[in-house]
Every structure is written in structure tokens, then in C-alpha cells.
Amino acid sequence: MNLVLVGINHRTAPVEVRERMNIPEERLLEAVSDLVHREGVREGMILSTCNRVEVVAQAEENLDAEPILYQFLADHHHCEFASFERFFYHRRQQEVVSHLFRVASSLDSMILGEPQILGQVKRAYAAARQAGGLNGTLNEVVTQALAVAKRVRRETALGSAAVSVSYAAVELAKKIFGSLEGKTIFVIGAGKMSELAAKHLLRSGASTILVTNRTHERAVELAKAFQGTAIPFEELLDTIHRADIVISSTGAPHFIVRKEQAEKLLAARKSRPLFFVDIAVPRDIDPAVNQLDNAFVYDIDDLGQVVEANKKQREREAVWAEEIVGQEVQKMMHRLASREVVPTIRALEERLNRIREAELERHRGPLGTLSSEQRQAVDALTRGILNKILHGPVTELKSEAGEAGQHNLVRLIQKIFGLGG
Amino acid sequence: MHDIFLWTALGFYGLGIILLIPQVIHRRPSLSPASLGALGLGLLAHAAALLAEAAKIHRLPVVDVRSALSFYAFLVTLAFFFAYLRYRIASLGLFMFPLVFVLTLIGTFRVDRPFDSSSMRSGWLLVHIGSTIIGYTGFFLTFVAALMYLIQERELKSKKPRGFYYRLPSLEICDEIYYRSLLFGFPLMTLGMLMGFIAAARNWKGPWELDPKILASLVTWLIFLLLFSTRVSGGWRGRRAAYVAIFGFVTIMATFLGASLLSGPHGYFPSLKQLP
């Protein structure tokens, strides 16, 4: 096993460098194909996203493969590589496994737990498969990386808390209403952010959308875009009670919903909850409305606060996720290592046994005719010696499985006993 | 046999609680198989304990406060499994099982006084005890849902999400559990009370209406009548209803335990057993 990875990411390289090194998806197949046909490269995969470019390979044993990968990048981008080299990190063997597991699990992402990376790894994997670049150890490692990512997703909440303002609004709405199925949204005033929030809410299941704006034409326009209903601005207060979620972003200099008005609204709603998302500055909804039972008012700062808390929450989950990844790396290494060790042990046993049998054959003459008990005794004697000799190296090999020095040990034993592996 | 089974049940409940703590800490959406398994085994052992007792005394093993609490704990565990299967909320276990554990523990206390109650075999009383206790099981869920609602509501109003924000279900789900368990519990409680009145009027000598437990139950019933009718008619939900539900449940517990010390036929102490 000889795994090598070189790469840059958002932490090690500025965007200009990442751009320069990027390998767009449409050229991926051709690039991987070039990579794996290079001398010394057995398997290869390329992961190229806007935040990272990584080239990973399984090379011939005992080959220093990094220069090959750097050369590949230089050739591919037609550049002098020396000026870029300082941005690159490299990983070997277990570090490669650990790195791939962490990347796929979104522990190495700019936004912890973001879900896109898993899809990107899957596409990189598919391209590499298609190019014939994955058929051995690396294939196994990447497949396992995808499985680990799924386990992390299943067993931790790493990716679940919203880390953008508009998603935070959706998350809060879900904390209040449970499912958004059949809920009505009222968008007051137009604006990028409120449109985005409304879009997310609709995608999460909200069914009806009402729109109003000071200029009615704009409201009609928006309503058309969302397939909703435009409400004249004057009828605003008579209509709000129909909505479960109100997204407000008018340019009004004063509150458009005051506490007394909100009280009436809630009564009209038979105390069903009402959620105000107030993204306007100055604010549209009197913050005192939040004191009312069943009314919840979040302004832009409140949403920001939720995002901050969620980020911290993700960091806490990341600790747990790292633990899972750690366990999985150990398991993987052990599996790979024992696979490498087992044939060596078997070869060693066979080799020694052949020597034993050859020597027995050679001494058959001087030993003369032996009774069956005597033959058994000689057999047991030689076997005993053989097993005692084997005990040391086999124990060492097994205990080193997965350790960094394992490969050297395997080599050493192969050399000493002439196993020709 | 009853004791061995009950202690086994208690052990499994304890184990289940210990196993579900890390699940809740790590915000796992559902309980681990180990934790669920332990709680399930606890439920089975508890059922075995109740059956053993029933076989011994040849009737429903609810003869005094101790055994009533044990039976109640069993029903609450059963209710937990129903609620969990429907809603998959890990934190529900954390709210329900500590009390189950305590109730079961009380259930293991030895009472060396045989409770003579040939009247308890009457059908009226059986329905009285059964439906009251099952109704109270519903109210336990009402109580837990109200508690979770209040905590989650506080998190949402504070706008600074802390631990509970992530761990508790949405207000809507809390409200749904609250409402459904109320719908389940209230008719049963009403039926149980009516049966009790009938049984008392037939069997007791003297002014049965003045029995402390009966009076306390009446107060409790009024509280839940208020919750039930205001909710069914549509108006009352949210914080206020949750507070009243919690108060109502505390009253139930007080009636269950406290009034029994004073009330004769409902009570613990043979010396107070019969009113004049």
C-alpha cells in the first residue's frame, strides 16, 4: 500500500491559486485518465471544488509519488509548478485515509457540515471509476469514506443546524410549527432577503403565499413569481391573521404591527402561533409583540444570533464526528494492514516448511528406516523448532498491523527470509 | 416472585436511563437500541411482577398506594413506548423515566399489612380504579408535553438557543401530544370518578362526599375540565394552558399520595380505614 495525496484548500491557498489549479468537472475524466496512466501510478482520483483541489493516488510500492502528482498538475495546467508548491500540503498512507474521511464527512469544509462536499466526492469517485482509476486499495478507501460520511450524518447533528440567516428563519419556523405543510406565508415589502426566506419556506412545504407592497404593481409582480396572491397594502392588517409566518422588510420609518394590533391578530387566530420574521431596518414589528403568548418575533440581529449559536453547535458536534472518523480510520488501517500482513505470514510459513521438508528428505539416508513412532517424533521435533522460530516474526507482524512501521517490517521480513514479495 | 421481578424492572429502568443520557447529550434524534432494549426489558419484568402479584391475590394488583403507584409506573412506561413509536423523541424518555423509576422504587417498599378489601372485587370499583389510573397515565403525558412546551417556548422567546432548543421537539409537536393525551385522559378520568361515586354511595356508610380524596379529586377534575373545554372550544393554548396542565398534574400527584394519608377507604393506614 502506498497512498499519497497532494492538495490545496481554502486554508492553505488564496482564491487566485485555487482558481488556477481548479480542474473543471467537464475535464475531470480526461484528467484522471491522464493521471492513472502515468508511470508508477496504480490508482488515482481528483477532487476539485471551489474550495479545494486534491490529487490522490495509490502508487507502486516504495515509490516517492509526490513529484509525479506535482508533475501531473504542472502538465495539466501548463505552468511552472515551483511557484505554487508552497501552497500545497501532502499526506501519506494513514494520513490520506484520515484526510479523505474527514473531507467526505465535511469536517474539513469552510462551513462545517455543509452537505455539498459529499456529492462532490461522489462525482469525483464516479469520474475516477469511469477512467479506470480505482480498482484496489484506493477504491476501498474512497468507498469507505462515503460510508463514513453517511455514518457521521446519521449519528451526529453536524449538518443539521442552519448557518445562514434565511435558513435560520426556516429552522425557527419548524421549531414553532413542526411541519410547514399547509402553512401560509405573508411577505410584506420586497427585498432579496425576504424573497430568499420565502423561497426556502415554500421549498420546506409551506403552501400559500400572500404578498403586499406599498407599490401594488411590485406586489403583483412578486405574487406572480411565487404563484401567490397580491394583497393591497391598505388591507394588510385585516389579512395578517390568515398567515402563520410573516416576513417583513418594508422601508417604513415606524412599526407597522404594534402590540395592540398583534393581540387582536392572535385572538382572531384562536391563539394559533404567529411567527414574525422582521428583516427591516428600522424594524417593522414592535419587539414588544414577542412578549405575547403564541407570538414570536425575530429581527435581523436575532436571526444572526441563532446562526452564531448554531455554528457553535456544529463545532460541538464536530468533536463527536472527529471521534467517529478516528475510529473508522483505525478500522480501515487495520483491515488494509492485515491484508498486507496475512500473505506475508503465509509465505513465511510455507517457506520454512519447505526448508524443513527438504532437510528431512536430505537426511532420510543417514536416519535409516524409522519406526512410525520415530518418524512422528522427528516430525514433531522439526515442526516444534519451526513454530518456535515463526512465533517471533508472526507476533511482530500482527502487532504492527496498522502501525506506521508496518510496511518496513513486512519488507524486512520478506528480505530476510527471501520471500520475494 | 413479585419482588424479584419488580427489582429487575427497576434495574432495567435505571440502566435505560443511564444509557439514554449520552443519546440526549449528543442530540441523537432517537434512542439507541441498547437504551430502548433496557427500557423494554424493564417493561416486561414489570409486567411479570404485576402478573405474579395478580395471580397471588386473584385480582387487579392495585390494593393500596404502593401497588397503585407501581401499576401506574407500568402504564406510564407503556404510554412512553406508544408515544415514542409515534414521535421518536429521545428527550421524552429523559422527562418520563426518572418519575417512572421513583414510582417503581416506591412500589418495591414492603407493606406487611394485608389490605382487606373484599369490596374491591366489585365491578364498579374495578372500573373506577382502572379508568382513573389509565386516565392519569394520559395526564402524565399531558404534563410532560406541557413541560417540554414551556421549555421550548422559553428558548424561542429568549432568541438565544441553548441546549434544549436543539433537543426538544417543536412547539406544534408538544402541543399535539398535550392535546391528544388530554383528549384521552379526560373522559377516562370522568368515567373513573363517576364509578367511584356510585361505588361509594352503594358501599360506604356515612357522608362519603366528605372524604378528603374524593374532594381533592373533584378539584382536580375541575382543573382538567377547564383545560379540556377551553381547548376543545378552541381558545386556550400555549403558555397559559401549559401552566394550568402542570398545576393540574401536581394536584393529581398530591391527591394520589397526600389525600390517601387522610382518606379512609383510599388510604394506607388500617386504623383510619373506616369513617364513622
* Residues of chain B that touch chain A, judged by Cβ-Cβ distance less than 8 Å: 26-28, 152, 156-157, 159-162, 165-166, 169-173, 176, 234-240
Residue B94 makes CB contacts below 8 A (sequence gap 6+) with: B17, B20, B21, B24
pLDDT for res B273 = 40
Q: Which residue of B has its CA nearest to A298?
A: B159
Cell numbers found for residue A286: 414592535
Average pLDDT over residues B67-83: 90
The whole-angstrom separation of Cα A94 and Cα A72 is 23
Closest alpha carbon to B196 in B213, B181, B184, B180 = B213
- Phi then psi dihedrals of residue A146, to 5 deg: -65, -40
- What are the residue numbers of the active site of A? 50
Average pLDDT over residues A245-249: 92
The whole-angstrom separation of Cα A354 and Cα A348 is 10
For residue A293, give the nearest of B152, B165, B238 by CB distance: B238
Residue A274's CB is within 10 A of a number of other CB atoms, namely 25
Q: Which residue has the cell 383510619?
A: B272
CB contact under 8 A, A177 and B152: no
- Is A207 a residue whose pLDDT tops 80? yes
Residue B4's CB is within 10 A of a number of other CB atoms, namely 12
How would residue A394 be classed by pLDDT, with cut points 50, 70 and 90? confident
Cell numbers found for residue B56: 397471588
Average pLDDT over residues A110-136: 89
The whole-angstrom separation of Cα B206 and Cα B62 is 25
Which residue did the predictor score with more confidence, B220 or B263? B220
- Is the Cβ–Cβ distance between A188 and A284 less than 8 Å? yes
Residue B246 makes CB contacts below 8 A (sequence gap 6+) with: B143, B146, B147, B150
How would residue B255 be classed by pLDDT, with cut points 50, 70 and 90? confident
Residue A309's CB is within 10 A of a number of other CB atoms, namely 18
pLDDT digits 0-9 by tens, B33-44: 888 899 999 999
pLDDT digits 0-9 by tens, A214-229: 888 888 988 888 889 9
Residue A32 makes CB contacts below 8 A (sequence gap 6+) with: A44, A45, A46, A127, A128, A131, A133
Angle at A95 between CA A90 and CA A100, to 5 degrees: 90
Please give the helix or strand (H or E) that residue B143 lies within, else none: helix B123-158
Q: Which residues pair with A305 in a beta bridge?
A: none
> Which residue in B25, B170, B240 has the most chain A C-beta atoms within 10 A of its own C-beta, making it the best mutation to test that interface?
B170
pLDDT digits 0-9 by tens, A26-48: 888 888 888 888 888 889 999 99
The whole-angstrom separation of Cα B201 and Cα A305 is 62
pLDDT digits 0-9 by tens, A77-102: 888 878 888 898 989 888 999 999 99
The whole-angstrom separation of Cα A205 and Cα A184 is 10
pLDDT for res B271 = 35
How would residue A402 be classed by pLDDT, with cut points 50, 70 and 90? low
For residue A271, give the nearest of B161, B169, B235 by CB distance: B235
Distances (CA, A) of A133 to A57, A70, A71, A310, B171: 9, 18, 18, 39, 51
Mean pLDDT of chain A: 88
Q: Which residues pair with A297 in a beta bridge?
A: A276
- Is the Cβ–Cβ distance between B72 and B136 less than 8 Å? yes
Please state whether A59 falls in left (phi above 0), alpha (psi between -120 and 50) or beta.
beta
- Is the Cβ–Cβ distance between A35 and A53 less than 8 Å? no
The least confident of A342-346, A409-413, B2-6, B26-30 is B26-30
Average pLDDT over residues A179-200: 87
> Does the interface predicted TM-score (ipTM) exceed 0.90?
no
From the number of C-beta atoms within 10 Å of its C-beta (0-12, 13-18, 19+), residue B77 rates as buried
The whole-angstrom separation of Cα A8 and Cα B239 is 53
pLDDT for res B37 = 92
Closest alpha carbon to A257 in A279, A232, A283, A231 = A283
- Phi then psi dihedrals of residue A229, to 5 deg: -115, 135
Cell numbers found for residue A366: 543417514
Mean pLDDT of chain B: 82
Residue B91's CB is within 10 A of a number of other CB atoms, namely 21
Which residue stretches of A14-136 are H helix?
15-21, 28-36, 66-77, 82-85, 94-104, 116-130
The whole-angstrom separation of Cα A30 and Cα B16 is 55
Cis peptide bond N-terminal to A282, omega within 30: yes
Q: Which residues pair with A56 in a beta bridge?
A: A5, A45
- Is the Cβ–Cβ distance between A65 and A79 less than 8 Å? no
The whole-angstrom separation of Cα A245 and Cα A252 is 19
From the number of C-beta atoms within 10 Å of its C-beta (0-12, 13-18, 19+), residue A318 rates as buried
- Is the Cβ–Cβ distance between B224 and B139 less than 8 Å? yes
The whole-angstrom separation of Cα A339 and Cα A328 is 17
> Which residue in B172, B176, B180, B243 has the most chain A C-beta atoms within 10 A of its own C-beta, making it the best mutation to test that interface?
B172
Cell numbers found for residue A256: 407597522
Pairing of strands A52-59, A41-48: antiparallel
Distances (CA, A) of A53 to A56, A75, A296: 10, 15, 44
Which residues in chain A have their CB less than 8 angstroms from residue B237's CB?
Answer: 271-272, 294
The whole-angstrom separation of Cα B167 and Cα B150 is 14
Residue B200's CB is within 10 A of a number of other CB atoms, namely 19
Q: Which residue has the cell 455539498?
A: A116
The whole-angstrom separation of Cα A100 and Cα A57 is 12
Average pLDDT over residues A370-387: 89
Distance from first CA to last CA of chain A, Å, rounded?
Answer: 13
The whole-angstrom separation of Cα A130 and Cα A186 is 49
Which residue did the predictor score with more confidence, A136 or A176? A176
pLDDT for res B108 = 79
CB contact under 8 A, A176 and B170: yes
Name the percent of chain A lying above pLDDT 70. Answer: 98
For residue B236, give the nearest of A156, A176, A271 by CB distance: A271
Closest alpha carbon to A24 in A53, A4, A45, A2 = A53
Which residues in chain A have their CB less than 8 angstroms from residue B26's CB?
Answer: 156-157, 317, 320
- Phi then psi dihedrals of residue A4, to 5 deg: -140, 145
Reduce the DSSP state of residue A229 to 3 states and report it.
strand
